[in-house]
Structure 1
Amino acid sequence: MSIEDFDVLKYLAITVDILLVWYVIYKLIMVIKGTKAVQLLKGIFVILIVTLVSDKFNLKTLNWMMEQVLLWGFLAIIIIFQPELRRALEQLGRGRFFSRTGGNEEEQQEKMIEAITKATDYMAKRRIGALISIEKETGMGDYIETGIPLDAKVSSELLINIFIPNTPLHDGAVVLQKNCVAAAACYLPLSESPFISKELGTRHRAALGISEVTDSVTVVVSEETGAISLTKNGELYRDLKLDVFKELLSKEFLTQTKPKQASSARWNWRGKKNG
């Protein structure tokens, strides 16, 4: 083997090494994405910047404090973020850490939308109260852990059965994650906005609350009126017709769908109730 071949192999090994490291970092970011660990990373960057500035300008006391934070911070991270670390290790053990999304994701989301639409139509006609939150980019692991884990394929029959009154899982929210029913009977944070109409019940307040802290899309079926509502980004779309409701869902989860009437469906929850 010549020296040139040795150099090529050496550079190839370095390239593969760098690519593997970047891939592992990327998968770690995907694991912690949407969790409290994201705020941790921001805090670490702030501490590092303060440490560099204090060292450059010879701020000894501040620099000593930052060094102590970095010294003991690793132990604090393990204690505070134990759930996130456990979830990452569980995914690694199941072989999901290095898995990639299949090419039929669009088809699965179409089936999910069809199932939600069919179940929502059934429950609205019979005035069965329902609360369904669909995860997008921001992770909802903290809220999933408050409910009963199901990890089941989405179907209209399953969603309807969950919300039948007086059943063990009907009280609370269903959280959908990666086109699956992750958990039922979950607790969602109630909106603390002072502008919310008092006419809105707990389901609507919870739907608005989760939309204020995540980018999830949440479906509400009113038990009193059977009205269909949807929340996202702190906004409430109420009294939706079934076709408009389906268009809104398609806009959020299907890349090639553009709703025609969705813009007229928004209901300003700061004002009076329509009809």
Structure 2
Amino acid sequence: MSFGDFSLFKSLASIVDIAIVWYVVYKLIMLIKGTKAVQLLKGIFVILIVKVLSDFFDLRTLSWIVDNIITWGFLAIIIIFQPELRRALEQLGRGRFFSRSSGQEEEELEKTASAIFKATDYMAKRRIGALISIERETGMTDYIETGIRLDGKISSELLINIFIPNTPLHDGAVILQKNNVAAAACYLPLSESPFISKELGTRHRAALGISEVTDSITIVVSEETGSISLTKNGELYRDLSMDTFKDMINNEIVGKDRGKTTSSTLWNWRMKKNG
């Protein structure tokens, strides 16, 4: 093997090495996304900055404190985040840390879409008011913390039970993360747009408000009429039929037939003043 071939081999090995490290870091970020571990990373970043500054300015006492925090912090992290670490090790043992069957993922998404559809259909027929927000790429941790944490598996029965009138959790929004009911009785920001129809109530304003600041999909069931509405990207789709609603939910959650939403159901509140 010539010197040039050896150098090329080392370069390729370095590229592969960097690519593997970046992929592992990416999978770790995806694993902790939407969990309290995100706040932990922010705290670690602040501690490291303080450590660098204390060494730079020769702040011995502060540096000693930070050194002890770093020394014992690793043990504290293991204790505090034991559930997250166990989940990561379980996924690694099942071979799901680096890859996941697309068939498995699609099956879970279909179950989630089906549970949401069944619950919405049930509540709409009985005029049970509901507000369900589905997290997508933009994290909704700040809004989840305003409600009651549940962390339960999504099912139509659970969603229906939450919104039954006069129960402790029925007032407010339910926020879904992947295939889990993250929290109930959550507060969502109300839209302040002057173009919203005055006939719309607080649930619709909250659904529009959260769609203005996140990329979430939010479902509203009116307790006055039983009508179903859906918001995304600052747009409100009103008075949806069950067939149209089912298609939209499948489009947004499962990803089937994306882009075939009936344009006649779209009520763009930005363009129609006073609806």
What TM-score do you get using the length of structure 1 for normalisation? 0.69
The offset of 1:33, in angstroms, is 6.4
Q: 1:260, 1:20 → 2: CA distance? A: 38
Q: Is 1:94 matched up with 2:86?
A: yes
The match for 1:177 is 177
Tell me what 1:244 maps to: 244
Name which of structure 1's ranges 255-264 and 90-99 shifts more when overlaid on structure 2.
90-99
How many Å apart are 1:108 and its aligned residue?
A: 1.2
Superposed CA deviations along residues 78-111 of structure 1, whole A, max 9, x for unmatched, are: xxxxxxxx8x956753333873545311111111
Q: Supply the AA of the counterpart residue of 2:235.
A: E
Deviations 1:210-230 (A, max 9, x none): 111111100000111111000
Displacement of 1:19 = 3.8
Aligned match of 2:139: 139
Runs of 4+ in structure 1 off by over 3 angstroms are: 6-17, 27-35, 88-92, 94-103, 258-261, 268-273
Measured in 2, the distance between the counterparts of 1:31 and 1:213 equals 24
Q: Is the 8 A contact 1:120 1:221 kept in 2?
A: yes
Q: Report matched runs for 1:31-180 at 5 Å.
A: 92-96=84-88, 99=97, 101-103=100-102, 104-180=104-180
Q: Which one-letter code corresponds to 1:164 in the other structure?
A: I
C-alpha deviation, 1:20, in angstroms: 4.4
For the Cα contact (< 8 Å) 1:247–1:262, is it kept in 2? no
- Aligned to 1:181, what secondary structure does the other structure show? strand
1:223 aligns with 2:196: no
Alpha-carbon distance change, 92 to 116 in structure 1, aligned in 2, over 3 angstroms: closer
Question: Structure 2: which 5+ residue stretches go unaligned?
Answer: 1-5, 43-52, 58-65, 67-76
Letter in structure 1 aligned against 2:25: I
- In the aligned structure 2, how far is the partner of 1:102 from the partner of 1:90? 26
**Paired residue type of 1:250:** N
Partner residue in 2 for 1:22: 22
Q: Alpha carbons of 1:92 and 1:258: their partners in 2 closer, same or farther (altered >3 Å)?
A: closer
Deviation of 1:34 after TM superposition, in Å, equals 8.1
SS in 1 for 2:88: coil
Q: Is the 8 A contact 1:175 1:181 kept in 2?
A: yes
Aligned length: 228
In structure 2, C-alpha distance between the alignment counterparts of 1:32 and 1:218, rounded to whole Å:
24
Find the counterpart in structure 2 of residue 49 from structure 1: none
3-state secondary structure, aligned to 1:185:
strand
Q: Does structure 2 retain, via aligned residues, the 8 Å contact 1:211–1:218? A: yes
Moved more, 15-24 or 227-236: 15-24
